[in-house]
Amino acid sequence: MWFIQPKRDYVAEMPWKHTDEPAVMTWQIRTRDYYTFPANIILLIMSCISMMLGLWFAFGWGIESIVSKTLLCGGVFSFGVLITMSMTHQTTIIVYRLTDKRIEVFSWKPQIDSVKPVMKWTAIISGVGVLCLVFINPDFIIAAIGPVGIGGMAALMGNSKGYQSLVRNEEYHEIDWPNAEDIAI
């Protein structure tokens, strides 16, 4: 998941265009590069909706056990909050490299990197489930469309550099020092 990614040094991995120039200074930051107040309000509203939905599931379906009610309510709430956080609290990694002649900046959003393994394992696990169903009744072979489609999309996502740079919102900027008019932090 995007919120438990390990801290890494990305400076050496970047596709710098001017590697022949020695770096004077390099650094990287992880940031939320947008106005966060609306995202926090949406998270609060969706958390309340997730809690109400979890309570409705737990108490509206006639479940007697308090443990079952707690697990169901907590599960629905946690699932809703995690999905909302993945949409509202995205981060960007920005890597800077300064040389004597220019500054190079490379940025991207790492959240899409967690989608590919989830799709791959969803395809594998659901494929095994469909295979078990086919052994019970061969008519269930039509259900294989789902796992095959998910697996195919995961393979296409993993192998397409153009798609990855598009969804990761990759940006590369280079500014020569003589042409630099304003530098803002």
Output the pLDDT for position 43. Answer: 92
Domain boundaries, the chain: 33-89, 110-168
Mind giving me the DSSP string for 102-143? EEEEEEE-GGGGGHHHHHHHHHHHHHHHHHHHHHH-GGGGGG
Which tens digits make up the pLDDT trace of 99-127? Answer: 888 888 888 887 777 777 888 888 899 98
Residue 31: the pLDDT is 80
